[in-house]
Amino acid sequence: MTAMKAIILDGHLKSALATTRSLGKKGVQVTTAAERGTAMSLRSRYSARRFVYPSPLTEPQAFVQAIISLAKKVGGMPVIYAFSDETFLLISKNRKEIQKYATLLLSSEESVDVAFDKKKTLALAKKLNIPQIESIQGLPLNSSVPIVQGLSLNNIFRAMSYPAVIKPQSSCVWKDGVGIKGTAEYVFTSDELYVRASALYKKTGKYPLAQTFIKGDEYGIEMLCQKGRIVAQVAHKRIRSLSPTGGAAVVKKTIYNNKSADEMESAARKIVEELNWDGVMMIEFKNDEQDNTLKLVEINGRFWGSLPLAIFAGVDFPYLFFKQCGGLVDTGDEDVNDMLNTQCQTNIISRHF
């Protein structure tokens, strides 16, 4: 990295806007980019340059070439920030070409694959003895079972406890050159599970996962990592979701030095070390009311939606990320050292309207 420049992708997302503001206030020259010119980050006072790129879902190769052209035009090896699965995964996949003209902070392709593939994530959790949500009650199967085609699985489906949650193996995949995004869905009968599983397989070409729905509070830990160690972190508890069935969080609160925060940190350190992770990561957990055990939900290997909460709590992940791209995070920068050496403020609440 040779200049104080950054390119912010996914300009329509609130996490991108928070990053634009964070870097702009620190004197970084920010270029904001999105699929449409009306994206909110492109309208920020801190956006020095604006750029509209092709859809990473419907035109993945055109998107990659557009980002390379933008990086060349901006000059100075700008740091690239990605906030969605589709932009992050394409940047990661095409890193060799992109990093000729831009600065990227990425873990190995193998580690990225584990973080973005739920089946591989759960296999990693099993290896590290991290509790996870069981998928089938009363049967000697692993915590999350790949669903395959075939009527022979009807008995397995009937043995599950309902409602259940069905998830695509990866939240974003490309099939026949077109990106497909999927989210978790609730199913209430074995027949519904079979129908939804078959539809997801046909749509994505990958076997989905089914898990038993558990009641309990939801938590998360957000981190900046360097060569397999956590250098900054914020833990939160979800207070309210967009939908009663889950989805995006709209109200969260920071927590520290309690049972949930300590258990999350312990599990997170194992995962970060095993993956030798570089960059940001957020890991979601849910506390199972039945056995009062915190269980892994998923890993998010990029910047997360509730990023503003961490900034409000005193940990400016976007700026720390920028500094890490220039080398070691713990430099002589007084603002950086303050964030690394001070615990985040607790009971800070953020709301998204």
Same domain, 199 and 228: no
| CATH label of the domain that carries residue 305 | 3.30.470.20
Query: What is the three-state SS of the chain?
Result: CCCCEEEECCCCCHHHHHHHHHHHHCCCEEEEEECCCCCHHHHCCCEEEEEECCCCCCCHHHHHHHHHHHHHHHCCCCEEECCCHHHHHHHHHCHHHHCCCCECCCCCHHHHHHHHCHHHHHHHHHHCCCCECCCCCCCCCCCCEECCCCHHHHHHHHHCCCCEEEECCCCEEEECCEEEECCCEEECCHHHHHHHHHHHHHHHCCCCEEEECCCCCEEEEEEEEECCEEEEEEEEEEEEEEECCEEEEEEEEEECCCHHHHHHHHHHHHHHHHHCCCEEEEEEEEEECCCCEEEEEEEECCCCCCHHHHHHCCCCHHHHHHHHCCCCCCCCCHHHHHHHHCCCCCCCEEECC
* Residue 110 lies inside a defined structural domain of this protein: no
Q: What is the pLDDT of residue 174?
A: 94
148 with 180, same domain: the answer is: yes
Q: Do residues 335 and 319 lie in contact, with contact meaning Cβ atoms separated by under 8 Å?
A: yes
Domain count, the chain: 3
Domain-ending residue, one of 187, 212, 237: 212
- Tell me, what's the pLDDT at 53? 99
Mean pLDDT by groups of 10 residues along the chain of 353 residues: 85 97 96 98 98 98 98 97 98 98 97 95 94 56 43 64 89 92 89 85 85 91 95 92 72 89 95 98 96 94 95 94 77 61 77 74
Q: Based on the domain organization, do 246 and 207 belong to the same domain?
A: no
123 belongs to a structural domain: no
Residues 60 and 91 in one domain: yes
Range of the domain at 160: 134-212
Q: Which of 169, 189, 212 is where one domain is finished?
A: 212
One domain, residues 78 and 155: no
Answer yes or no: is 263 within a domain: yes
* Peptide linkage before 56 cis (omega within 30 of 0): no
| CA distances in angstroms from 238 to 43, 89, 108, 255, 293, listed in the order given | 29, 26, 30, 10, 16
Does residue 274 fall inside a structural domain?
Answer: yes
Same domain, yes or no, for 338 and 232? yes
Q: Quick one: tokens of 345? A: 């403020």
113 is a domain residue: no
CATH of the domain at 169: 3.30.1490
What is the per-residue pLDDT for 150? 44
Task: Give me the CATH number covering residue 29.
Answer: 3.40.50.720
Examine residue 87 and state whether it is found in any structural domain, yes or no: yes
Name the amino acid, one letter, at 319. Y
List 226's β-bridge partners, or say none. Answer: 229
Interatomic CA distance for residues 119 and 210, integer angstroms: 11
Domain end residue (candidates: 162, 192, 212): 212
Within-domain flag for 27: yes
Q: Round to whole Å and give the CA distance between 286 and 217.
A: 6
The confidence score (pLDDT) of residue 346 equals 84
Residues 77 and 147 in one domain: no
Question: Are 30 and 54 contained in the same domain?
Answer: yes
What pLDDT was estimated at residue 99? 97
Residue 111 forms part of a structural domain: no
Q: Looking at the structure, do residues 197 and 250 belong to the same domain, yes or no?
A: no
Q: Does 69 lie in the same domain as 42? A: yes
Question: Is there a contact between 147 and 167 (Cβ–Cβ < 8 Å)?
Answer: no
Closest to 46 measured CA to CA, from 6, 83, 10 = 6
Same domain, 265 and 179: no
Same domain, 240 and 155: no
Residue indicated by tokens 């932009």:
87
